[in-house]
Amino acid sequence: EPEVTQTPSHQVTQMGQEVILRCVPISNHLYFYWYRQILGQKVEFLVSFYNNEISEKSEIFDDQFSVERPDGSNFTLKIRSTKLEDSAMYFCASRDNVGDTQYFGPGTRLTVL
Amino acid sequence: AQKITQTQPGMFVQEKEAVTLDCTYDTSDPSYGLFWYKQPSSGEMIFLIYQGSYDQQNATEGRYSLNFQKARKSANLVISASQLGDSAMYFCAMREGPSGSARQLTFGSGTQLTVLP
């Protein structure tokens, strides 16, 4: 069964450093999403991406964040200058253009020191 | 106001018993979708079941069923014949807007279910 994959599974970085989180959505999916979950809290929407552009973004998704689909398979989230409060689990999700269900990857746990 | 409310931070159920996890939602959009996801201790988010706002019948997927009461704006998850592997955090989520739109999911705070042997 096809699935969303994410790399790395765990990333540790120093405050102020740039990180890139990578996702490979399910191959025939057209809608892509990033969410984050701070430890012990609810899952929060960051950004949605369709047709090579951002569809929607939340207040969390400020100028420090960017997304890119550099090729036909990868979908990346970049945080330019990480803060301590960026420590969280980051989930990528994807959906096809017919169904309504977003399928989530296993997540990347980001730890900012 | 919270869009998704899960009032049970923790629930316990005996193995092989049924359990209901509560979820209420708030939206003025006539078109929406409701989802349940399971998050085991390993952290991944596993899709369980979906209910569209215009669906006439309650959704079922194996041991999972969604008790959709539109007038009460509730979408409770029922797990029948609980298994030890059902122990996990369960999240209710909503997508507002028509099916097929790029709209994001809004999640509740979750219910930690523990299945007792």
Asked if pLDDT for residue B14 goes beyond 80, the answer is yes
Interface residue A57 vs chain B (CB under 8 A): no
Nearest-neighbour CA in chain B from A15: distance (Å): 24
Output the pLDDT for position B2: 77
Confidence class for position A70, pLDDT limits 50, 70, 90: confident
> What's the CA gap between B90 and B113, in Å, rounded?
7
Mean residue pLDDT of chain A comes to 93
Output the pLDDT for position A28: 87
Asked if pLDDT for residue A97 goes beyond 90, the answer is no
Collapsing DSSP to helix, strand or coil, B85 comes out as helix
Length of chain B: 117
Interface residue A39 vs chain B (CB under 8 A): no
Nearest to B109 among A42, A55, A106 (CB): A42
Nearest-neighbour CA in chain B from A25: distance (Å): 14
Output the pLDDT for position A9: 95
- List chain A residues with CB under 8 Å of B103: 48, 56
A77, A8 Cβ separation under 8 angstroms? no
- List chain A residues with CB under 8 Å of B102: 31, 48, 50, 55-56
Contact check, Cβ <8 Å, B105/A35: yes
Contact check, Cβ <8 Å, B45/A91: yes
DSSP states of A13-73: E-TT--EEEEEE--TT--EEEEEEE-TTS-EEEEEEEETTEEEEE-TT--TTEEEE--SSS
Q: Calculate mean pLDDT across residues B101-109.
A: 89
Per-residue pLDDT tens over the stretch B20-33: 999 999 999 999 99
Q: How many CB atoms lie within 10 A of CB A20?
A: 13
Confidence class for position A99, pLDDT limits 50, 70, 90: confident
Q: Calculate mean pLDDT across residues A37-44.
A: 91
- List chain A residues with CB under 8 Å of B53: none
Asked if pLDDT for residue B1 goes beyond 70, the answer is no
Per-residue pLDDT tens over the stretch B45-103: 999 999 999 999 999 999 999 999 999 999 999 999 999 999 999 999 999 987 777 78
Per-residue pLDDT tens over the stretch A101-110: 999 999 999 9
